[in-house]
């Protein structure tokens, strides 16, 4: 159906498939800037027995956890890229056991079972393109760094055994363009939507913007205001807090490149 | 978070609670027109063992099945109306056994178990108010009838054991106001969003507009075009086709009146 509809294969250019082929062959680099104009997604994979809780966690926390697709148990296929194999086509994975990081392989075929359900979750890379098109500078791109991300003092709404803090990404935005940034991203609710907070990092429990919990520090320019968006690392933080026996995610910045043009997730 | 956030109790006037109190006391009438300006919701209740399939069915079919809230197993409480009891506060229920209608009680306390999960699903009553405010006539309201609903030849994307056809509601719209109707409803994706189809009912497999599968026939005025929206009866059609051992739903037109103002579900 409209916003969440899978793309027509005819819409997909070669760029996403080419990127996935390189990752499948072993290239293990961050996916930022790959296949520009195509949506990239966060990955969370859990045993079927935990999948209801994760699906409900997404339903209850749609800003940090916008679910773009959920696979059938055991299937490594997604409507977001019908030719892709979720076990091989990301540049790097993280494997979690009891909430602890247990490895960062580039292929998870040997770990895959008929019991696993994969969740593809919207990523703010999609709205960065929209911000640039609207004339809003994106400092982390200018500085060639990963975006800054922070655990906040706000709890997500729990779902069964899953709970954890809201994680936000922060981008410094010139004060005169904050309203534009809100409007542009509000039109893209499936890739985190409007900011959750503008200015006043201490109100989110963030002590020092220069010391992010994930990603890199990003320098603000004179007159920039820190703007905070819900972040797709939120479900990883919930896995770390809630400790399911087994999980696979993408490695930070090493996303799944889909065949879906970013424009599909832009609303009126 | 923004669009799906529960309302502040301070926002809720007395009208929704008063309506629910009358239904709880036994009044069994359609809820159309009750507590104007407040969101009404479709109800589907299933055993925990089927809840993952239903949650996934909603994720995969967000236009017909926009999930506004999903309860914890056994709980009759929802964030959409914190004081309400889902077992008593709807005007009338339907009970389903193996996909067959087994009763239409006004109270389901004796059927409730710790195993049940309730799904609250957006309803097009919310966007009818928005259409009227935009100057688009709503013929079913003018004629004092239930909206016309039809099973279509389009399949929903299945989820586990749940599958079924897309069900649509139809409203005749003056040709010069079709674009307005699209724009107004597109801003409300959590209450079915933009139309799925405009004109040409035969392309949806609808043979005779005067013989709806659910609801009442509604007369079109000269120059009206039939406009079709995804409909919240879709999950009931899936229950009829997929035959879970037990389910409870609202009776058609006898919705759950929430404390959430319709405006919460309007986007930019």
CB B91 within 8 A of CB B27: yes
Rounded distance between C-alpha atoms, residue A17 and residue B50, angstroms: 36
Residue of chain B whose alpha carbon sits nearest to that of A155: B1
Lowest mean pLDDT among A201-205, B81-85, B104-108, B143-147: B143-147
Candidates A163, A167, A146; CA nearest to A228 is A167
Question: What pLDDT does A6 receive?
Answer: 47
In chain A, what are the domains?
A: 9-123+242-265 (3.40.1640.10), 125-234 (3.30.2040.10)
Judged by CB atoms closer than 8 Å, whether chains meet at B56 and A70 is answered as: yes
Residue of chain A whose alpha carbon sits nearest to that of B160: A72
A37 or A11: which carries more pLDDT confidence? A37
Residue A8: pLDDT above 70? no
Q: Is A47 exposed, middle or buried (0-12, 13-18, 19+ CB in 10 A)?
A: middle
Per-residue tokens: A115: 């019991």
Rounded distance between C-alpha atoms, residue B40 and residue B251, angstroms: 13
Question: What pLDDT does A5 receive?
Answer: 46
Question: Distance of alpha carbon A174 from its chain centroid, rounded?
Answer: 24
Judged by CB atoms closer than 8 Å, whether chains meet at A194 and B59 is answered as: no
Candidates B258, B145, B153; CA nearest to B205 is B153
Greatest distance between any 2 Cα atoms in chain B: 53
CB A224 within 8 A of CB A174: yes
CB A168 within 8 A of CB A149: yes
Q: What's the average model confidence in pLDDT over A192-216? A: 93
CA distance A52 to chain B (A): 5
Question: What pLDDT does A163 receive?
Answer: 97
Residue A143: pLDDT above 70? yes
B200 or B23: which carries more pLDDT confidence? B23
Question: What pLDDT does A9 receive?
Answer: 47
Residue A177: pLDDT above 50? yes
Rounded distance between C-alpha atoms, residue A268 and residue A17, angstroms: 29
Contacting A with CB below 8 Å, chain B residues are: 1-4, 51-52, 55-56, 58-64, 67, 70, 72, 160, 183, 186-187, 189, 193-194, 196, 230, 267-268
Judged by CB atoms closer than 8 Å, whether chains meet at A2 and B267 is answered as: no
Q: What is the ipTM of this complex?
A: 0.73
Portion of chain B with pLDDT greater than 90, in percent: 80
Residue A1: pLDDT above 50? no
Question: What pLDDT does A108 receive?
Answer: 98
CA distance B151 to chain A (A): 16
Question: What is the SS3 assignment for A101-115?
Answer: EEECCCCCHHHCCCC
Question: What pLDDT does A268 receive?
Answer: 55
Helix (H, G, I), strand (E, B) or coil at A22: helix
């Amino acid at each position: 159906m409209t916003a969440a509809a899978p793309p027509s294969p005819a819409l997909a250019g070669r760029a996403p498939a080419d990127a996935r082929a390189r990752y499948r062959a072993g290239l293990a680099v961050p996916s930022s800037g790959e296949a520009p104009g195509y949506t990239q997604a966060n990955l969370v994979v859990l045993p079927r027995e935990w999948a209801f809780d994760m699906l409900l966690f997404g339903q209850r926390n749609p800003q940090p956890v916008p679910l773009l697709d959920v696979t059938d148990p055991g299937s490594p296929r997604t409507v977001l890229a019908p030719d892709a194999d979720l076990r091989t086509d990301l540049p790097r994975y993280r494997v979690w056991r009891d909430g602890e990081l247990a490895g960062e392989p580039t292929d998870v075929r040997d770990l895959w079972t008929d019991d696993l359900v994969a969740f593809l979750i919207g990523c703010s890379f999609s709205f960065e393109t929209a911000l640039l098109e609207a004339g809003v500078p994106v400092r982390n791109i200018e500085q060639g760094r990963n975006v800054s991300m922070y655990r906040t003092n706000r709890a997500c709404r729990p779902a069964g055994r899953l709970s954890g803090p809201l994680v936000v990404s922060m981008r410094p935005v010139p004060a005169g363009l904050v309203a534009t940034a809100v409007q542009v991203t509000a039109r893209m609710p499936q890739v985190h939507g409007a900011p959750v907070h503008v200015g006043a990092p201490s109100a989110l429990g963030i002590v020092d913007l220069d010391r992010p919990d994930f990603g890199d520090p990003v320098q603000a320019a004179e007159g920039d205001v820190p703007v905070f968006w819900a972040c797709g690392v939120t479900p990883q933080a919930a896995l770390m807090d809630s400790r399911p026996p087994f999980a696979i995610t993408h490695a930070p910045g090493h996303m799944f490149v889909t065949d879906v043009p970013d424009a599909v997730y832009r609303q009126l």
